Structure 1
Amino acid sequence: MKTENRPVPLPNGGPPGAPQQGRARQASRDLDGKLLLPSGAVSFSWHHAGPNGQTVKARRQPVPVNDSGEVTHVEWECPECPDSGQWFSAKSKIERPLCGICGVRLHKTSDRRISIPWGRLYRDHTGSVNSAAATSLVGMAGVAADVADLSLAGEVAQFAAIPAIVAGSWWMTRAWLRRQAETDEELTRDTIARRARGAGYLAAAAGLWIELTDVIGFADHAAVALTALFGLGVVGSRPYRRWLADRRAQALRPPVPLDDEDDLYDDTPQPSEEDLLREYVLARWEKVSAKGRVLHGTSLENIQASVGGWSAIIVAHDDSDLDPEKFDMPEPVRKIARAYSVGTSMVSIIADPLDANRAMILVQRTSPLSTGSRWNGDGIDLTTGTAETMTLEDGNRGRHPFWRPGWGALMELIAGCTGSGKSEYVNLLLALERKSGRVVSWVGDPQMGQSLGDVRDGVDWFAPTNEEILVMLRTAVTVMLARNLLITRMRVTETRPDGTVVQRRVKYVEVSPDFPLLSITIDEAHLPMNDPDVGKEIVKLLALLAKSGRKANVKVRLLVQSPLLSELKDSVLRAQLASGVVTVFRTADRLTGPAAWPGGKMPGDPSALPAEWEDGTTAAGVGYNSATARMRMRSDYAGDLWDVMTRGDTVSLETAVLGAAGPLYADRWKRLEAFDNMDPAEILGAGIPSNLLDSAPGDTTPPAGGREAVLRFFADRWLDGDRDPVQFGDLAAAVRSVIKTRACTNAVNKLAGEQILDTDGRGGYWLTESGAEQIGVLDEVMA
């Protein structure tokens, strides 16, 4: 697929430092300075297609090209901001864009001139240059003496002056250092004597070198001699300078204790583990928070050790270029993982629900989710209606709510692809319901309960077919209405402030043995809801129970692979379920999670959750739960449930509603026994039920509907932050493996008519904000 990224309009001018409008450009290099391939390009190449069809070779670096060999992007950089390289479209009409950080005009990387850093070279080799210069000066003095051609008396006087020069150098050096010692305590008597002797030695060597130059006669070849002396000074000074550096390093090195007893008297304060951790974390955070980096303008607070790593609070300041809503986007997570040398799965960023400028970060080499936990056998806390069912990423335990005291039943939606762990989690929830003694559990499974195991025999009603599920839901609605009538007839005695005793009506009855919670669980719910014969009525009954069952202590729990409308069929039903408790395990695509999550903004991408860990063990049960902190969790492993599901009495409906439930409820086990005794050939009839094929194990392909395929395409682009129009030809090519071009045309026209998509009239289409809100991805990426 070839997608054209149109450049965002930039301001034509403005004062320096004025920020540019539009979304951020693509960085051209990573933290190590390596070129990053921009979106729209297929590779880097040293050769590209020129304007007249000829092949052109790049001058300084390879350039990004498309399938046709044409240059797609040009790298620009800011002369003021370090590491500020950005990709701009090669088709952009802007002559010189502005830097989004300091407002300075950018220039192309290819126009940058190569300059020699003379100043830095001199600073790095100051010692060698000074040694060579001193040697050359001595040689120049010798050449001058040779040129002077003094008489014998002059030569003798010149030679006799050497001792005086040596003595003068020694005396003057000692006198100058003694004066400096008045303010410098490091200049001891031994140090002054040693340096004075060194000055005398150098003076003697210089004098003898001058005389040797005069005797040999270097005047005839002065240029050659001085050049040779310069090189000799560089090479000859290296052993001396190395020895001098070793002496200085040894003087600065702390003394080594003579024995272990000396350590007892070392009162030097040692940094604590907390201080060392803080120093390590902050030093590496500078790599991602420096100016021009993805997390520029952020800092860390409350750094502390966590399970398997460390945790902190990210704070975005006013000068941050990062939208706080993008803390947990792939790019920041990738940069943080590189800075701390960990995998991206080991980095978790959890946004603060009360402050958009703060987020919690967890970096863990060993996650508490990697091993998981077994259910400890504890049941539901009857005072709160919750139970411990999971381990959170920070090592704390998470609780799953079944009902809310004083409020009623909580609806539930559990989503996840095959093998993600949702069936095992449901087994745990059903075991908790049975053990509580307060819950009547009804279960419908069109796959005939194979994944439930012993749980099937421990529930009050099990429906193995779509037809039996319909009967069960009809009975549930009847029970709900009967409870509503009974509640309206109830009275409670109350004494008013004036002492009058009155009988007041009741609005809600708490969950108790006399008024248990009726929990209806439908596994693979999309199968009965899409049944051609009974599906429509099943959807209506589920929507009615989800909307009106709360006050009658009736809850609905649906298990689906994808909570999109193509499977749930009813927006009211999906909204009611999402307002309760949502659990999302690993999904097959990025759209499933936001469509199910309350508000659309998930703590992370469920399609990126691992199927297994690095050591090959399964990661089933890893997901997100809306009733806990905004971080990953792993559900407990239920284990062997035989004792829980077979011992003790199964909670059934209260006596007051048995008449309303009628014979359909009374004969439920007879029908199940008859079903179990039927010949498989009689159950299957002419062949395999077609709806079972839709959820074959391992099948994670999206629905073949044109509308669904187009929405998934635009949802993925929206989640990636790409809002540019897409030409219909590119769209049709992208979804061609799923739907035909005609189906794509019909879907686009209908979506445009519903204002989910918009068009420029020239074949370009894009997802509108209202459309993003309808499919549940509006808050996933902020503009």
Structure 2
Amino acid sequence: MATTTHRPAPLPNSDARARHTQPNIDGHTRKPAPTPVPVGAAKMQNWYIDPTDDRRKRMPYDVPVDGDNQRTAHLRYQCPRMRNVNGGGKERCGEFEWLLPGDPAVHCRAHGEQLVPPKQPNRLGAVLRETRRMYGDTAKTLALPAAAFTTEALAGLADVAPAELGIAALPAAGLTYYMTKRTLTRRAVARNRIERGQRTGRRVVHIKRRATRAALAAGEGGLWAAALAATDINTWAGRIIAAAAIIRWAVGVKPWWDRCEQRRMFADLPQVDTTAVVETAPPVEAPDPVRTRAVTTWAMLIGCQGGPLAGTELVDYEQLPACEVGASIRTRLPNWKAKVVAKVDGSINMREQRPNLLGRIAAAYKCTYADVSFSADPSDLSTGWLRVQPDNPLAETKLWPGTVANDWKNGRSRIGRYDDGEDIWYQWWTKTGAAHDLISGCTGSGKSELVAQLLLASLHSNGLVLDWVGDPQGGQSYGSLKKSVDWFARDKSEITLMLLAALKEMYRRNDVLSANDIKTWRPTKSMPLLVITLDEVQSFIDDPTILEMVEKLVGMGRKCGIKMRLITQIPAAYNLGGSTYIKEQLKAGQTIIFRAMTDVAGRSAVDGDCPIDPTELPDVWGKHTCAAGETTAGLMYMQGINGRDVYGRADYTGDDMSVWLVDADGQSTLTPGVFGREAQQESGPLWGDRKQRAELLLAAGRSDADLLSGGKAIELLEAAAVTQATPAHLRAPQQPAPPMTGSGRVSREVVFDAAVQAANEAGQVTKDELIAQLARMGEQMKDSTRDKALTDLMADRRLRRIKNGFYEVPGKGSPSLFDQASGAAQ
């Protein structure tokens, strides 16, 4: 017989989105389908991070979470109807939906009931449960004093003698031991920690220890109660006993409280999915002791309050390779680098002036000043970079690689390396013209070695660089290079002529470039870069003529390819002729600073916001480097073009520089620039007769007048004569001077004759006029011979010095006086 199946009428929201549980018409449920992700959530999972306390919590079912694994505002709306289940009994209907508080109501399709949100938990109950969880273990210790006071009160009411109460404490302790041991053993067996009847083992010993502690507590509590019962709290004896008992109780429960506090601290931390950590996290490595020392030392000594860089910390620690030189025969300390950041982002400018910063860092990490490098990030001044290298790679001396170090296409040469291995680039010219140099440093710091390297580089420039060098020390530091450069001036007079020739060449180039409408000079073989190197410039730049020419060359020479390179030990204005203009023009190019000996030299060399102090550089390398105890010559700091706030070291050209000048067959390898025909015509005898003048000067020797400025050496030589230095009353009777013969007498008479002819009507003559008169007379005389003749004439009273370089001829035009002076001389 056919049967009719009655299907329920469509209920409200029957066409809504699919439910999580689909009931059949007979009340049975199908297998739950995967929970779909509700609108507004990122995914469904059975755990989430509570945003109130950042703790990880698990749920018995999947809940909607956002991208940060935090619960969304969705609530689990469920059907309130109870339904029958197979085998008897009832359960709540499994129809539910995740909805936001503002979503429209949804009805159960099986019962037609509206889905309701979960009941709000009892806030008071939740607070009590949380309080018990957090402080329940701590409160357990209050049971002992509470039991003692309660026992004492009950004994007083029951009129129990204190002695009986004390005796009762012994069986109470035994009973406590038995009950505690039994309870803990049962619990351990139920948790499968020990087997039933087990008598040995670590866990059994632990149970016995806990039972013993409980028995002792019960015995002490009984004795406490007996002592309280035997005394009156209103008397001093009762107060002392009560206070002693409270102190004993507090001392005993202190370890318990500490453990409870530790458990609360760990309970407050965010919970971690340990399963996921085990599956995805790499194995935990032991902490790096070098990193730990670096970070903690910085925090305690540098970044702490009152430290040289307070409010900072180290991040991004990274170990650097050690120096391989002598690795098998010495102990190598680790090198490392790290990033320095402010704890409050953007609160510190890392390039502010901190003159003692590097020294404090070096002291904190027990290394030398040269082993520490600190610089601000050029793109973010709120961060800095720190390198600490006790095994300093700069201690390894590296030889100059030769012509491969030159990059003439970009007008630069590699002259060394920084402590991080990057190249130090020296700029010959830029897009706007020549780049001037100011090189400073104390004796033995490596200035001359660097200049020798630069001269070798320019001598192999393929005709693009031409060198003129002025050195009042005769070029002793440059060896054979002084013969290879185009012009070498060994004294002030020749340096003056060299600068004058450079000045004439500058104006000639200006005219040529202007006539051809060339705005920017570029080096060519016909117009190479002219580099004028002035060593020990402080010894001759005080001459007004030289000072004027240097000022013009540093100011206007750049645009036409004339480069000035001034070298001095102290780059202060008073060592540059008192001209701040010269110093400013030179620092606009590049400044190379070696070790300084005084604060004046250091402050004059570096900029105000520079973290480098050249006076702090050590003379020798530290004991942990590959060159312990050896000189640090070549250690330098560069500012300006290609400059950085860290130290570097120049390469070494070697003791014998001739290997760079000739090849294996003895043929010259030099390709310097050439002083062109037009330049030679403009210069005339200044450049054309330079070599002949050098030969004559070398043969004639140095003039006494050039030993000290202003001819002071001649005055001292005059004062050194016995007749001048001895007091008048002690002088012996003056004897007639022995007759002079030979060239000495001739020179004296020639000089005196020239002085008489050149003197004006007042009988006065300058030294320059005297020299000009000697030239007109056709007399070629060495400077030393002429100066000796002047000294003798003044000793004989035939000439009298009015002031430096200014003489008077007594009785000019009086033959009798002349004859008398000549007779006295004979």
TM bucket (normalised to shorter chain) is: 0.5 to 0.7
What does residue 465 of structure 1 align with? 491
Q: How far apart are residue 192 of structure 1 and its match?
A: 6.7
What does residue 651 of structure 2 align with? 636
Q: How far apart are residue 577 of structure 1 and its match?
A: 1.0
What does residue 311 of structure 2 align with? 297
Checking the alignment, whether the CA contact within 8 Å between 2:173 and 2:216 is kept in structure 1 is no
Q: How far apart are residue 536 of structure 1 and its match?
A: 0.7
Query: 1:616 pairs with 614, 629, 651, which one?
Result: 629
Instruction: Give the number of equivalent residue pairs.
Output: 516
Checking the alignment, whether the CA contact within 8 Å between 2:346 and 2:382 is kept in structure 1 is no
**1:522 aligned onto 2:534:** yes
SS in structure 1 of the partner of residue 407 of structure 2: coil
Q: How far apart are residue 552 of structure 1 and its match?
A: 1.9
**1:370 aligned onto 2:395:** yes
Query: Which letter maps to 1:555?
Result: K
Checking the alignment, whether the CA contact within 8 Å between 1:431 and 1:644 is kept in structure 2 is yes
Q: How far apart are residue 202 of structure 1 and its match?
A: 5.2
Using the alignment, how far apart are the partners of 2:650 and 2:710 within structure 1?
29
Query: 2:613 pairs with 592, 605, 623, which one?
Result: 605
Q: Could you list the per-position Cα deviations for residues 17-61 of structure 1 after superposition, in whole angstroms to 9, with x for gaps in the alignment?
A: xxxxxxxxxxxxxxxxxxxxxxxxxxxxxxxxxxxxxxxxxxxxx
Which has the higher relative contact order, 1 or 2, with Cα contacts under 8 A spaced 6 or more apart?
1
**1:662 aligned onto 2:684:** yes
Checking the alignment, whether the CA contact within 8 Å between 2:369 and 2:616 is kept in structure 1 is no
What does residue 478 of structure 2 align with? 452
Checking the alignment, whether the CA contact within 8 Å between 2:415 and 2:425 is kept in structure 1 is yes
Using the alignment, how far apart are the partners of 2:532 and 2:419 within structure 1?
30
**1:552 aligned onto 2:560:** yes
Q: How far apart are residue 556 of structure 1 and its match?
A: 1.0
Using the alignment, how far apart are the partners of 2:314 and 2:223 within structure 1?
67
Using the alignment, how far apart are the partners of 1:151 and 1:371 within structure 2?
88
**1:443 aligned onto 2:474:** no
Query: 1:306 pairs with 315, 320, 333, which one?
Result: 320
**1:676 aligned onto 2:698:** yes
Checking the alignment, whether the CA contact within 8 Å between 1:296 and 1:322 is kept in structure 2 is no
Change (3 A) 1:435 1:688: same
Query: Which letter maps to 1:198?
Result: R
Checking the alignment, whether the CA contact within 8 Å between 2:529 and 2:561 is kept in structure 1 is yes
**1:653 aligned onto 2:665:** no
Q: What does 1:318-329 correspond to in 2, within 5 Å?
A: 318=344, 324-326=350-352, 328-329=354-355
**Relative to structure 2, which stretch is displaced further, 382-391 or 461-470?**
382-391
SS in structure 2 of the partner of residue 451 of structure 1: helix
Using the alignment, how far apart are the partners of 1:334 and 1:517 within structure 2?
41
Change (3 A) 1:187 1:485: farther
Query: Which letter maps to 1:661?
Result: S
Checking the alignment, whether the CA contact within 8 Å between 1:417 and 1:561 is kept in structure 2 is yes
Change (3 A) 1:539 1:601: farther
Checking the alignment, whether the CA contact within 8 Å between 1:166 and 1:204 is kept in structure 2 is yes
Q: Could you list the per-position Cα deviations for residues 314-357 of structure 1 after superposition, in whole angstroms to 9, with x for gaps in the alignment?
A: 23355787664446431x44554454444444322213344432
Using the alignment, how far apart are the partners of 1:515 and 1:166 within structure 2?
107
What does residue 54 of structure 2 align with? none
**1:170 aligned onto 2:185:** no
Checking the alignment, whether the CA contact within 8 Å between 1:444 and 1:465 is kept in structure 2 is yes
Q: Could you list the per-position Cα deviations for residues 513-540 of structure 1 after superposition, in whole angstroms to 9, with x for gaps in the alignment?
A: 222111110100111112xxxx111111
Change (3 A) 1:285 1:488: same
What does residue 416 of structure 2 align with? 390
Change (3 A) 1:274 1:171: closer
What does residue 685 of structure 1 align with? 704
Change (3 A) 1:643 1:676: farther
Checking the alignment, whether the CA contact within 8 Å between 2:369 and 2:618 is kept in structure 1 is no
Using the alignment, how far apart are the partners of 1:434 and 1:549 within structure 2?
21
Using the alignment, how far apart are the partners of 1:199 and 1:167 within structure 2?
11
Checking the alignment, whether the CA contact within 8 Å between 1:165 and 1:203 is kept in structure 2 is yes
Q: How far apart are residue 487 of structure 1 and its match?
A: 2.4
Q: What does 1:325-340 correspond to in 2, within 5 Å?
A: 325-326=351-352, 328-330=354-356, 332-340=357-365
Change (3 A) 1:302 1:384: farther
Q: What does 1:74-85 correspond to in 2, within 5 Å?
A: none
Query: Which letter maps to 2:320?
Result: S
Checking the alignment, whether the CA contact within 8 Å between 1:480 and 1:554 is kept in structure 2 is yes
Using the alignment, how far apart are the partners of 1:515 and 1:635 within structure 2?
29
Q: How far apart are residue 423 of structure 1 and its match?
A: 1.2
Instruction: Tell me the TM-score normalised to structure 1 length.
Output: 0.55
Instruction: Tell me the TM-score normalised to structure 2 length.
Output: 0.53
Larger Rg: 2
Using the alignment, how far apart are the partners of 2:554 and 2:531 within structure 1?
11
Change (3 A) 1:693 1:323: farther
Q: What does 1:12-411 correspond to in 2, within 5 Å?
A: 164-174=175-185, 193-201=204-212, 269-270=282-283, 280-287=293-300, 288-291=302-305, 293-306=307-320, 308=322, 309-316=335-342, 318=344, 324-326=350-352, 328-330=354-356, 332-378=357-403, 379-404=405-430, 406-411=431-436
Query: Which letter maps to 1:356?
Result: L
SS in structure 1 of the partner of residue 476 of structure 2: coil
Identity %: 28
SS in structure 2 of the partner of residue 329 of structure 1: coil
SS in structure 2 of the partner of residue 376 of structure 1: coil
Using the alignment, how far apart are the partners of 1:510 and 1:687 within structure 2?
39
Query: Which letter maps to 2:659?
Result: D
Query: 1:481 pairs with 507, 515, 540, which one?
Result: 507
Using the alignment, how far apart are the partners of 1:571 and 1:204 within structure 2?
92
